[in-house]
Structure 1
């Protein structure tokens, strides 16, 4: 009987997960459709930016133009879908949380979009021009003729912008994991060396191979981690205070019951 109940519970969990995934996929497809309408103005903006002036982009395939529009539409859909995806994750895990943890975790959802936009701006206006200037300077020193395909240009752009934008979600992710008691500031401090190594590795990979470029990305990422530890400590202190308050209420209620009996 117990085994059958557990199996039913597992089936229910899988069914709930499938429902959440269908919701997310539906929103992503809708965002993709809307993204095709905004792809043209976004393309015009990206190709007329200061960092692209002087470049002539070429299409080396009949599908290059359509492929770029699809990438822009996909990025737009990702931006729109990201907060909704986080909300669906929260809906899936919230039944296993206490009411105070549910309330704490839910309030982080709106900030997913904000942090992603901040990361997107930093990646596009700081990291990308720096990477582009470095690569073109090497091309000029080698005496090569600059002939850029639009597909290669946008792949280079999205390959830098998207990872950096997602890394800016780190503080929110750590706060959420702290709120549901998976992480705590003590554990994060113990993981500091490993976290630093991973973030430095990411900074080196997504930037041009020179020390200045690496440093300009590395420092914000390390500061993001330290800021995440600070936020985790803030959430953790509130959790401890709430636990103490709940325990004291329980103790008082037990004492009152003992006196009445």
Structure 2
């Protein structure tokens, strides 16, 4: 087991590595345990969750179908089923997809615990007031991550699957999508959005260490908009509507990050004045 040291400043480099090793081990164990549960729940994970966006009964498709019907517009979101099938062309294709999907499910579900382990490792190096101001870190970061995961699953993934699954260059070509490719599309949409929604947390810590200021965020707002659109183009189908739908919440998070950065700067300024007295 790792050593228990009352004063973190007295820990040697090897002690820190030992401490980090046990935090990583506990995080991996948590991911593996949840992954085993996900592995056993194969039917629910694949038939309900992963293959949910393949059916036009999916809530997202119904929502866009109602909007199209309200405005009297024909929509590809209204129909019986998407015109593509999923196949596995490799001998171990389905088993491999089962294993990796379980591991990623383990990571997503265990994310709050992994964050908690990270926090336990870095918090001893913080001042008491810094720990006090960061008490909601795990809750805020986990909430943003899961919000991003839900956004990726209910918005980005179905838009991508609907566009790419129905896109054809000729009536002579049929879309028979490989299982690994389909799973990768859903996984990329979910994980990418989960990470993007952590933007306010990232800005908070970058501001704390002095690498980012509200002025810098405002100055490079236009550049940030371009980067956001590029990221949206990578994780969404190449149509303007999908990119705008994904870009809107990210830009809102960017604006929220500016306000968070302002709050951090004000707190740091108050702290410096207090210490100067």
Which TM-score applies when normalising by structure 1?
A: 0.79
Moved more, 184-193 or 63-72: 184-193
Matched, 1:11 2:40: no
Matched, 1:31 2:34: yes
Contact 1:178 1:235 in 2 (8 A): yes
Look up the match of 1:42. Answer: 45
Look up the match of 1:237. Answer: 266
Q: Deviations over 1:42-83 (max 9, x none)?
A: 211132443483443222223222222223212221113322
Look up the match of 2:182. Answer: 153
Indicate which of 168, 192, 195 corresponds to 1:139: 168
CA separation of 1:100 and 1:215: change in aligned 2, threshold 3 A = same
Unaligned segments of structure 2, at least 5 residues: 1-8, 59-80
Higher normalized helix content (fraction of residues): 1
Contact 1:199 1:221 in 2 (8 A): yes
1:242 offset after TM fit, Å?
Answer: 4.9
Structure number with greater Rg is: 1
Report the Cα distance in structure 2 between the residues aligned to 1:70 and 1:43, rounded to whole angstroms: 12
Contact 2:38 2:45 in 1 (8 A): no
User: Which residues in structure 2 correspond to 1:180-191 (within 5 Å)?
Assistant: 183-191=212-220
Indicate which of 211, 215, 220 corresponds to 2:240: 211
1:238 offset after TM fit, Å?
Answer: 3.6
Which TM-score applies when normalising by structure 2?
A: 0.75
Look up the match of 2:92. Answer: 63
1:182 offset after TM fit, Å?
Answer: 5.3
1:191 offset after TM fit, Å?
Answer: 4.6
CA separation of 1:95 and 1:41: change in aligned 2, threshold 3 A = same
CA separation of 1:191 and 1:9: change in aligned 2, threshold 3 A = farther
Moved more, 55-64 or 203-212: 55-64
Report the Cα distance in structure 1 between the residues aligned to 2:18 and 2:219, rounded to whole angstroms: 37
1:163 offset after TM fit, Å?
Answer: 0.9
Report the Cα distance in structure 2 between the residues aligned to 1:48 and 1:170, rounded to whole angstroms: 28
Contact 1:68 1:154 in 2 (8 A): yes
Contact 2:93 2:179 in 1 (8 A): yes
Unaligned segments of structure 1, at least 5 residues: 1-5, 252-261
Report the Cα distance in structure 1 between the residues aligned to 2:209 and 2:38, rounded to whole angstroms: 34
Look up the match of 2:195. Answer: 166
1:116 offset after TM fit, Å?
Answer: 1.8
